[in-house]
Amino acid sequence: MEEVTVPKSTLHPSFRPFRDYLVTMVPLVLLATYLYGLRVVVMLAVATVTSVLCDLFVAALRQRHIRLSDISSFTFAWTVTLMLPTSASYSTVIFAVCATLLLGKHAFGGYGSYPFHPAAFGYCLTAMSAPDQVFLYPLSGTRLGFGWNLNVALHQSLAQTLHDGGVPLVDRTDLLLGDFNGPMGENFCLIIASCLILLIVHRAVCWQVPVAYLATCALWAFLFPRIPAGNAESVLYEMFCCGIPFAAAYLVAEPTITPKNSVARVNYGIVTGALTMAISRFGVYEVGAPYAVLLSAPFGYWMDRLLTPEEDKEARNG
């Protein structure tokens, strides 16, 4: 009887890790919806539809079929949208998703070929193109409508207050719960930390990169405090106000850009963390993580090549 070989899996390589990413983003979406209303859901729906249209456009250009199990585009679209204020116009969401997918992902050949995180690229390009849409936020708890452009009072974030040398005025309980004005999905640091643990347990991300990244950011904040309240307070505000846990979970340890060598992963996390804190303090913008991810990606590739033994390189290439 002739033996029939059945393929182990027909799923796209991106399906398992990015499925876990999407699942862990659901609590962030629910919390943001609780604070700001259903506009959050509409923005994510616009981002999802835009990601589908981008994939269809690229598939038509390349005359290829779309693999339905490749959900990386949905994940990148959600990631860059959660980094925006809830008050951002739908056109800003569309621009951010198009920049993420068309320029950050597909321009380099699609999944697995991009040299840096596509969502970080899309966010940085959007921030430079429309800073008023990206760096001004409604007060936490403001119920927003569904209009294309909103007439609502906008304020700077706590990260901008730190960047300007001030001390954020927020109750510690609200700080821990993420109940303060900022990006729609980045403030809920305790929930994000739990999501990061889940991603590590499910092996969607390697533990070395986010642990080294978070430790470096915390150590920098402790040694070089930006506020006069003390070193411990500096760590608290820096880690909770500047989107660092979100970056650790969803940007820094993306499977494609993460080095394969464990030592390289630790070094990559340290360098990315140091760049995040340096850019946040000395850069033009209030946040440093997306820019740090773009700048540190070449270092990660170099460290991987430097520290991986020749026999492992040959086995990987073979």
Residue 274: CB atoms within 10 A of its CB come to 18
pTM reported for the whole predicted model: 0.89
Give the pLDDT confidence score for residue 312 in this predicted structure.
53
Residue 182 counted as domain residue: yes
Looking at the structure of the chain, the number of domains it has is 1
Q: What is the 3-state secondary structure (H, E, C) of 166-225?
A: CCCCCCHHHHHHCCCCCCCCCCCHHHHHHHHHHHHHCCCCCCHHHHHHHHHHHHHHHHCC
Q: Is the pLDDT of residue 246 over 90?
A: yes
Residue 318 counted as domain residue: no
Residue 30 counted as domain residue: yes
Residue 113 counted as domain residue: yes
Residue 168 counted as domain residue: yes
Q: Degrees (nearest 5) of the Cα angle 26, 32, 34? A: 105
Q: Is the pLDDT of residue 3 over 80?
A: no
Give the pLDDT confidence score for residue 153 in this predicted structure.
85
Per mean pLDDT, which of 49-58, 142-151, 229-238 is the most reliable?
Answer: 49-58
Q: Is the pLDDT of residue 94 over 50?
A: yes
> Mean pLDDT throughout 148-174?
82
Average pLDDT, the chain: 87
31-83: pLDDT as tens digits: 999 999 999 999 999 999 999 999 999 999 988 887 777 889 999 999 999 99
Residue with tokens 């991986």: 308
CA–CA separation, 269 vs 261, rounded Å? 12
Residue 315 counted as domain residue: no
CATH code of the domain covering residue 217: 1.10.3430
Beta-carbon contacts of residue 205 (< 8 Å; ≥ 6 apart) = 17, 196, 199, 249, 253, 254, 255, 258
Residue 52 counted as domain residue: yes
Q: Which structural domain range is residue 68 located in?
A: 15-307
Q: Degrees (nearest 5) of the Cα angle 304, 309, 311? A: 125
Give the pLDDT confidence score for residue 318 in this predicted structure.
46
Residue 152 — very low, low, confident or very high, per pLDDT cuts 50/70/90? confident
141-155, 179-193, 254-268: which range is least confident on average? 141-155
Residue 310 — very low, low, confident or very high, per pLDDT cuts 50/70/90? low
Q: Is the pLDDT of residue 93 over 90?
A: yes
| Higher per-residue confidence, 309 vs 56 | 56
Residue 200 counted as domain residue: yes
Per mean pLDDT, which of 121-125, 155-159, 231-235 is the most reliable?
Answer: 121-125
